[in-house]
Structure 1
Amino acid sequence: MTPADQPAKRPRTHSRSGDPAKAAGRPDTSKPVGPATAADWISGARLRTLPLAVAPVALGTGAGVLAIAEGSWHPARALLALVVALALQIGVNYANDYSDGVRGTDDHRVGPARLTGSGAAKPKHVLAVALAFFGIAALAGLALVVVTQQWWLLAVGAVAIVAAWFYTGGKHPYGYYGLGELFVFVFFGLVATAGSAYVQALTVNLEAWLGGVGAGLLACAVLMANNLRDVAQDKLARKRTLAVLVGERAGRVLFVVFALVPFVIAAFLALFYPTAWLVQFALLAALPACLIVLTAKTPRELITALQLTSLTALLYGVGLGLGLVF
């Protein structure tokens, strides 16, 4: 989060009785902060994660167009699917900001400060924004259901929103028990890709499922890079991410697996769709990310790896989607 340009006249300090530092007997080192600016709210949306929403929709749309016998496509449905994915991703980001902030998990983070955890925004305001984006996702999803007349998709959308909230929300968030990667693999990989294909062709072909696996693994890689950066702080806050559970060394290896297996899938699909070979150029971003994660010694390096992996996911999803069609 970008700090406010001018501090408030009466700066507030961020402090909670449940602060892990205080519980451990350490002094409160929080600093006064000013009210959140527009730039802070935009930063709170975590724009660098949005490629994880775009990639599966692009890939799934390409797979869906491939499955349509007459070779046509439905751009309005693709746009609605994109709105669902983007709104859900942004909603998750704000919901995480709220939930981690009120728990005190973000009190010791080493990455960009969060709206709630820094005290720059009231928790209820961050929660309201998160719910607003979930509402946008729900409305776009409802429009898709009406257009396609596939009413059972309402259940899929409801499960996606509930899963997004309980990632870090509720009394027992599953993101605190090493299941975050499973969430992003299922919903930002398989569901988003297969769903985007389905609303195009009303069927899901093998290309969509395989592409969904690739997109999901890259989403897992982004999350792993983020969590490797915060391992020490998450241990302190008792947030048991997969990186915390398996340890930093194994987490780095898992990152490489998550980042490179999608290119094996792309190579297999390229045997049948030659243009898909062009997706391998995304390795120009993926390989440096892997090298950085394997050798990183500072949080800043892992943030760079996260950015490169997000770029990889975007190139992979859009490139493979186009490769299936052309």
Structure 2
Amino acid sequence: MNRWVDAARPRTLPLALGSILLGNFLAYASGKFDLLIAILATLTTLLLQILSNFANDLGDFSNGVDNADRKVALRAVQTGKISQQEMRTAVIWTAVLSFFSGNSLLFFGLKNAPLEVWGTFLGLGLAAIAAAIAYTVGKRPYGYMGLGDISVFLFFGLIGTMGTYYLQTFSLNLILLLPASGCGFLSVAVLNLNNLRDIDNDIKSGKNSIPVRIGKINGFYYQKALYILAMACFYAYPFAAGIPVNGYQQLLILGIYPIIVLFRELHPGMSSVQIDPYLKKTALRTLFLILVFGIIQILTSQ
């Protein structure tokens, strides 16, 4: 069991919860919340993240990216702990579980919704499953073309947050794009750190991530830009939404400050071993920021 837990990459799971928690917090603050919807959305997102991790493990090994040159964050298939066939089977079953969990979410969340709404959410769910697999699996994985950042921003930011909010409230507000984008930028920041850590091996194996395309130094500038954009989005939300900036809203600095620390600590001279712990740090601090932000919105709404 330990090998499968490791392959699921538990340290990535807090980040997967970010957009779902954010959407639920915003819905609760608006006065509408269903616990069952929140639980099913959380379960579906965790399954999709695990699916993505399994597929990434399989795809990177099959495409020669996870090879003998990889020395940091070794993968299950790469090290032989899990065979390719076992991982392929796990990808299929996790995709099936994600599909059924997602459909359960839609069944309870869209009971009285028009058919076109059902179709839209079903399409988004299938796209999420396809995106999780196609990131590194197949003849032309989009992650090898530097397109992973866009996918992560959409699914772990905009779609995760706005979709959850809609399932809870049956409404949408464009102002919510600000916190949703903030969550998306921080999710991309974790992916970019992953790519900065693996840049040397990715260059050799032909994986053209954003850091490979723009270079390690510019990759760190890009990383810091993502932090700045995320913090700006969360700070701008109460002003854009017309929410009084009272004492509660000012407490947002409690969630922002740990991100500022990351901004100051990261620098282009860091080795892969030094970069690796910052993936977990960024994921956990993103979750903490969302918790602080969400609680503030609930307190402000009362």
Q: Which residue of 2 aligns with 1:179?
A: 147
Q: Map 1:71-82 onto structure 2 (within 5 A).
A: 71-82=31-42
Distance 1:128 1:248 in 2: 36
Distance 1:319 1:283 in 2: 9
Question: What one-letter code is carried by the residue in structure 2 that aligns with 1:313?
Answer: T
Task: Say which SS state the counterpart of residue 297 (structure 1) adopts.
Answer: coil
Deviation at 1:260, TM superposition (A): 2.4
Matched-pair contact (CA < 8 Å) for 2:255–2:290: no
**TM-score normalized by structure 2?**
0.89
CA gap 1:167/1:276 in 2 versus in 1, 3 angstroms? farther
Q: Count residues in correspondence.
A: 286
Q: Map 1:304-323 onto structure 2 (within 5 A).
A: 304-323=277-296
Q: Map 1:248-267 onto structure 2 (within 5 A).
A: 248-267=216-235
- Across the aligned residues of Structure 1 and Structure 2, the Cα RMSD in angstroms comes to 1.6
Unaligned runs of 5+ in 2: none
Matched-pair contact (CA < 8 Å) for 1:110–1:229: no
Q: Map 1:132-151 onto structure 2 (within 5 A).
A: 132-147=93-108, 148-149=110-111, 150=113, 151=118
CA gap 1:276/1:125 in 2 versus in 1, 3 angstroms? farther
Deviation at 1:40, TM superposition (A): 2.4
Task: Say which SS state the counterpart of residue 56 (structure 1) adopts.
Answer: helix
Which of 111, 131, 148 is equivalent to 1:163? 131
Which of 23, 41, 55 is equivalent to 1:95? 55
Q: Which residue of 2 aligns with 1:122?
A: 83
Deviation at 1:100, TM superposition (A): 0.6
Task: Say which SS state the counterpart of residue 71 (structure 2) adopts.
Answer: coil
Task: Say which SS state the counterpart of residue 58 (structure 2) adopts.
Answer: helix
Question: What is the CA deviation profile of residues 62-115 of structure 1, one whole-angstrom value per residue up to 9, with x for unaligned ones?
Answer: 222334xxx241011011111111110111001000111112211122321111
CA gap 1:171/1:276 in 2 versus in 1, 3 angstroms? farther
Distance 2:106 2:290 in 1: 24
Distance 2:268 2:86 in 1: 39
* Residue identity (%): 29
Runs of 4+ in 1 over 4 A off after TM superposition: none
Matched-pair contact (CA < 8 Å) for 2:216–2:268: no
CA gap 1:270/1:316 in 2 versus in 1, 3 angstroms? same
Question: What one-letter code is carried by the residue in structure 2 that aligns with 1:252?
Answer: F
Instruction: Say which is worse superposed, 127-136 or 105-114, in terms of deviation.
Output: 127-136
Q: Which residue of 2 aligns with 1:7?
A: none
Matched-pair contact (CA < 8 Å) for 1:110–1:230: no
**TM-score normalized by structure 1?**
0.83
Q: Which has the higher contact order (CA 8 A, sep 6+)?
A: 2
Q: Map 1:1-326 onto structure 2 (within 5 A).
A: 38-67=1-30, 71-107=31-67, 108-147=69-108, 148-149=110-111, 150=113, 151-152=118-119, 153-271=121-239, 272=243, 274=246, 275-326=248-299
CA gap 1:48/1:277 in 2 versus in 1, 3 angstroms? farther
Distance 1:142 1:64 in 2: 21
Task: Say which SS state the counterpart of residue 294 (structure 1) adopts.
Answer: coil
Unaligned runs of 5+ in 1: 1-37
Task: Say which SS state the counterpart of residue 266 (structure 2) adopts.
Answer: helix
Task: Say which SS state the counterpart of residue 50 (structure 1) adopts.
Answer: helix
Deviation at 1:186, TM superposition (A): 0.5
Question: What one-letter code is carried by the residue in structure 1 that aligns with 2:194?
Answer: N
**Structure having the higher Rg:** 1
